[in-house]
Amino acid sequence: MLQFDFTKKHILENDVVQLRPLLIEDVPHLLEIANEPDIWEYSFVKGNGEKKLTSYIQSAIDGRKTKKEYPFIVYDKVKKQYAGSTRYCEIMPALSAIRLGYTWYGSAFRGTGLNKNCKYLLFEFAFETMKAERIGMAAYIENTISIAAMKSVGCIQEGVLRGIFPALDGKGRTDAVLLSILKKEWISKEKMMLKAKLKK
């Protein structure tokens, strides 16, 4: 069964990035990024503006208190700047399963390898320390860049939730693409393959 202490300050890091627990005091660290015009295009929950960002972070912290989520702030150790946020969400100990989501980075940090380093640390900790058997992810079907990024770190597309979200233009509904990576896949090949990509 999945093992996780929500009260502990879990810090995941390597030479490129550090992920530490998200705090309400992090609003100033993330506000400039949160105000970038395209950050929330594919997010059902918005965090642009100080008020919305404060509410967004507080909701994530509340999720940790109720033992459903564990949010991180992402710090780029190369640029020496805060880069965005991500979290374990829908943590389900009885199923040894986790969903990974609410991931967003500022434009200056995309395409730099930061995401691959984050995913490596998150996968490694989830599978090898938390003893998870499965990590699931999802994205708006229109978010082809995010879907490609998930596939590039070893995730397999497994299905579509039809009409799960309001459409981006506010008219009608749109679908979500579901992806996942399993512990046996991580151990047998994906860890080695992703680690090799970190060196490029």
Q: What is the pLDDT of residues 143-166, one digit of tens each?
A: 999 999 999 999 999 999 999 999
CA–centroid distance for 34 within its chain: 15
Place of tokens 């100080």: 50
Residue 134 pLDDT: 98
- Measured CA to CA, the distance from residue 10 to residue 20 in angstroms comes to 6
Q: What is the per-residue burial (b if ≥16 Cβ within 10 Å, else e) of 143-181?
A: beebbebbeebbbeeeeeeeeebeeeeeeeebbbbbbbb
Burial string for 77-91 (b: 16+ CB within 10 Å, else e) reads: eeeeebbbbbbbbeb
Residue 24 has pLDDT above 80, yes or no: yes
Q: How many C-beta neighbours within 10 Å does residue 9 have?
A: 7
Give the pLDDT confidence of 70-83 residue by residue, as tens digits: 999 999 999 999 99
Identity (one letter) of the amino acid at 70? Y
In this prediction, residue 92 carries a pLDDT of: 95
Structure confidence at residue 170 (pLDDT): 83
d(CA 139, CA 177): 5
User: What is the pTM assigned to this prediction?
Assistant: 0.96
Other Cβ atoms within 10 Å of 196 Cβ, number = 9
The DSSP H or E segment spanning 22 is none
Average pLDDT over residues 94-121: 96
**Contact assessment for residue 74 and residue 34, using Cβ atoms and an 8 Å cutoff:** no
- Domain boundaries 12-198, CATH class: alpha beta
Task: Supply 56's token pair.
Answer: 């967004």
